[in-house]
Amino acid sequence: MKLHGQTIILTGSSSGIGEQAAYQLSDLGARLCLVARRTEELERVADAIRVKGGEAWVYPCDLSEPASVNACAEAILQAHPRIDALVNNAAHSIRRSIQDSLDRPHDYERTIQLNYLSAVRLTLRILPRFIEQGSGHVVNISTMSSQFPIPLFSAYIASKMALESFSRSLLAEFAHKGITTTVVYFPLVRTPMSSRTAIYKHERMMTVERAAGWIVEAVEKRPVRVSSPVGVMGEVALAAMPSVVIKAMQPYFRKRDKRLKDRLAKG
Ligand SMILES: NC(=O)c1ccc[n+]([C@@H]2O[C@H](COP(=O)([O-])OP(=O)(O)OC[C@H]3O[C@@H](n4cnc5c(N)ncnc54)[C@H](OP(=O)(O)O)[C@@H]3O)[C@@H](O)[C@H]2O)c1
């Protein structure tokens, strides 16, 4: 797929991977509808794109609010007669054990609201345009953490796996009508999101530029999945030998977190 002239809706484009993806997609000639809450940050990204001759429009929206999602989708549909792709990238991550979440069911509700329900709502709003056009692509951003049995991210991982499941259903129902989906399984990426976890300071991470390249690949080539080989191996192993893999991974993550904590304490 040539990206030149394609109109792409990109949520979570005011920082991190989404911001970088906006620049890379624009460099390839795509026209960007930038969606996030912080208007000033979105304007900063749009200005950087326009300075280089690209096209970008800013759609401030709190994706946690259904009414805000509806209004945002309406504004985009009104302004753009053709939409080629939607990238559901905005998300919130929570690193907290289930033990520490016993009185925090709202963690699960908030996470599923933004990471899953808002992405579904926006997709459902844009889908009629894709059906009318006979083409369209939805990229849903997930995490390598859903390819392994990882502790401390139960609310976040469940929300991402729900989104993966929705992607699969979309493909099953619409692929023959020219509407396709990609799930992107990022490993840890150095962004404001991952930087909120102090012990990750010394962990090796993917660069935001490389991660943005995965989104470009997803929009351009439209594969069903963009993942690291390690992630794919994790999925295969988990499907084939769930008990063995789950048992083997538990001490690995305890040791890793201890190593990262010790390293952080040393400065
Ligand atoms: N970083 C990692 O290690 C990592 C690993 C695996 C997967 N991922 C996934 O990669 C994607 C991008 O993450 P990132 O690391 O780039 O995160 P980030 O830098 O924290 O960016 C998150 C983006 O989502 C937007 N957002 C958050 N809440 C929103 C809301 N209620 N309404 C609208 N927009 C909202 C933020 O913009 P505003 O604050 O302006 O609203 C921001 O643009 C996410 O889906 C994340 O789950 C990240």
**DSSP-H helix ranges across the chain:** 16-27, 39-51, 66-79, 105-112, 118-133, 154-174, 192-195, 208-221, 229-240, 242-266
Nearest to 210 by CA among 1, 34, 17: 17
Looking at residue 266, its pLDDT comes to 83
Fold (topology level) of 7-266:
Rossmann fold (3.40.50)
d(CA 74, CA 163): 22
User: Whose alpha carbon is nearest atom 47 of ligand 1?
Assistant: 91
Residues 59, 116, 156, 185: which is the catalytic one?
156
Q: Is 155 in the pocket of ligand 1 (CB under 6 A)?
A: no
User: Where along the chain do its domains lie?
Assistant: 7-266
Q: Is 64 in the pocket of ligand 1 (CB under 6 A)?
A: yes
Looking at residue 1, its pLDDT comes to 59
Question: In whole angstroms, what separates CA 229 from the centre of its chain?
Answer: 19
Inter-residue contact 101 to 155 (CB < 8 Å): yes
pLDDT one-digit tens code per residue, 214-235: 999 999 999 999 999 999 999 9
Spatial strand order of the sheet with 31-36 comes to 55-60, 31-36, 7-11, 85-88, 136-143, 179-186, 225-226
Nearest to 10 by CA among 43, 40, 35, 38: 35
Place of tokens 């979309």: 170
pLDDT one-digit tens code per residue, 14-62: 999 999 999 999 999 999 999 999 999 999 999 999 999 999 999 999 9
Ligand 1 atom closest to Cα of residue 62: 32
Looking at residue 185, its pLDDT comes to 98
Looking at residue 198, its pLDDT comes to 87
User: Separation of 45 CA from ligand 1 center, angstroms?
Assistant: 15
> Which stretches of the chain score pLDDT less than 70?
1
Nearest to 63 by CA among 85, 42, 84, 46: 42
d(CA 111, CA 92): 6
Measured from the Cβ of residue 200, the count of other Cβ atoms closer than 10 Å reads 16
Q: Is 119 in the pocket of ligand 1 (CB under 6 A)?
A: no
Looking at residue 39, its pLDDT comes to 98
Looking at residue 225, its pLDDT comes to 98
C-alpha dist (Å) from residue 240 to 1, 171, 244, 253: 35, 24, 9, 21
Catalytic-residue membership of 156:
yes
d(CA 128, CA 132): 6
Measured from the Cβ of residue 56, the count of other Cβ atoms closer than 10 Å reads 23
